[in-house]
């Protein structure tokens, strides 16, 4: 998925940020009264050691973000779109690729791996409402060089998700809401990082992801992060 080339100078219209819904209308390509059902696309910076980045759709800069930031969903025309990132205020792609977007669907683009081998991971997000009185979570291993990881809840004998290698992800799975979860990531049965005091609310949808590098002790060290998809 990784290619490098210079950004064009086109000024294609990007729709403003919309509230997350199952369907919504995008900007219209033609002067008629037929709304276009947009896709929702979000960007997440998960590349440890990589400075702030600009995120780009069809050669048009949308915004900037730093490590562990996610920027919510933006409305985008359906179809094959060019997505990418560059170093902040640079005119050269760090990495880019194409994404086939479907109207009414939602996607997360994760910027992954370290600076010298940065890649994009496009994941479709199933934002159907959780079961009654439940929430939904999924797990993604975004820690470069890590062995397969399990995600568990402290105090539960059975892991929520097991054996996810780097860039592998799970479907969204139902979970009971709680005001005070402690999530654990395990390697070969040993807890290697925790995410304490997490509130999981009824009706909401979350992504928990393994981040960082096991060899570091600074802000890029191995750990867990969480984002709310809906």
What is the rounded average pLDDT of the residues 73-82? 94
Is 144 found in the same domain as 119?
no
Tens of pLDDT, residue by residue over 15-46, are 333 333 333 334 434 445 567 799 999 999 99
Is 38 found in the same domain as 99?
yes
What is the number of structural domains in the chain?
2
Angle ∠(1,62,60) on CA atoms, nearest 5: 70
Cβ neighbors of 21 (< 8 A, separation 6 or more) are none
Is 60 found in the same domain as 146?
no
> What CATH number does the domain containing 11 carry?
2.60.40.1120
* Strand 135-141 relative to strand 60-65, pairing: unpaired
Is 41 found in the same domain as 4?
yes
Is 144 found in the same domain as 102?
no
Region at 90 (left for phi over 0; alpha for psi -120 to 50; beta for the rest): beta
Is 121 found in the same domain as 20?
yes
Q: How far is CA 133 from the centre of its chain?
A: 25
Q: What is the pLDDT of residue 157?
A: 85
Q: What is the pLDDT of residue 120?
A: 97
At 78, the pLDDT band (50, 70, 90 cuts) reads very high
CB 108 within 8 A of CB 125: yes
Q: Does 211 score more than 90 pLDDT?
A: yes
Alpha helices in the chain (DSSP H): none
At 91, the pLDDT band (50, 70, 90 cuts) reads confident
Alpha helices in 131-208 (DSSP H): none
Report the length, in residues, of the chain.
Answer: 230
At 133, the pLDDT band (50, 70, 90 cuts) reads very high
Average pLDDT, the chain: 86
Q: Does 12 score more than 90 pLDDT?
A: no
Angle ∠(114,39,207) on CA atoms, nearest 5: 45
The proportion of the chain whose per-residue pLDDT surpasses 70, expressed as a percent, equals 85
Is 39 found in the same domain as 139?
no
Is 47 found in the same domain as 1?
yes
What is the rounded average pLDDT of the residues 184-206? 96
Which domain covers residue 186, as residue numbers? 130-230
Q: Does 66 score more than 90 pLDDT?
A: yes
Choose one of 125, 160, 186: the last residue of a domain. Answer: 125
What is the rounded average pLDDT of the residues 171-182? 96
The proportion of the chain whose per-residue pLDDT surpasses 90, expressed as a percent, equals 79
> What CATH number does the domain containing 190 carry?
2.60.40.2890
Is 105 found in the same domain as 143?
no
Choose one of 125, 154, 175: the last residue of a domain. Answer: 125
Is 91 found in the same domain as 135?
no
Tens of pLDDT, residue by residue over 135-164, are 999 999 999 999 999 999 999 989 999 999
Is 105 found in the same domain as 72?
yes
Largest CA distance in the chain: 59
Tens of pLDDT, residue by residue over 49-60, are 999 999 999 999
Q: Does 193 score more than 80 pLDDT?
A: yes
Q: What is the pLDDT of residue 30?
A: 43
Q: What is the pLDDT of residue 34?
A: 64
For residue 117, the SS3 value is helix
CB 76 within 8 A of CB 40: yes
Q: What is the pLDDT of residue 33?
A: 59
């Amino acid at each position: 998925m990784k290619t490098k080339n210079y950004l064009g100078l086109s000024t294609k219209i990007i729709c403003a940020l919309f509230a997350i819904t199952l369907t919504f209308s995008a900007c219209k390509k033609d002067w008629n009264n037929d709304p276009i059902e947009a896709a929702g696309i979000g960007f997440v910076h998960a590349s440890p050691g990589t400075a702030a980045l600009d995120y780009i759709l069809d050669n048009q800069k949308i915004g900037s973000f730093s490590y562990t930031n996610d920027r919510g969903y933006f409305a985008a025309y359906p179809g094959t779109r060019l997505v990418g990132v560059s170093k902040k205020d640079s005119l050269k792609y760090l990495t880019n690729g194409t994404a086939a977007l479907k109207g009414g669907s939602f996607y997360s683009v994760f910027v992954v791996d370290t600076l010298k081998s940065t890649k994009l991971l496009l994941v479709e997000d199933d934002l159907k409402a959780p079961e009654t009185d439940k929430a939904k979570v999924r797990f993604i291993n975004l820690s470069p060089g890590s062995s397969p990881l399990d995600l568990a809840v402290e105090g539960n004998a059975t892991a929520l998700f097991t054996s996810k290698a780097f860039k592998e992800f799970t479907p969204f799975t139902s979970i009971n809401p709680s005001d005070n979860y402690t999530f654990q990531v395990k390697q070969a049965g040993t807890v290697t990082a925790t995410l304490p005091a997490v509130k999981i609310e009824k009706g909401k949808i979350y992504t928990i992801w393994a981040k960082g590098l096991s060899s570091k002790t600074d802000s890029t060290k191995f750990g867990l992060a969480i984002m709310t998809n809906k």
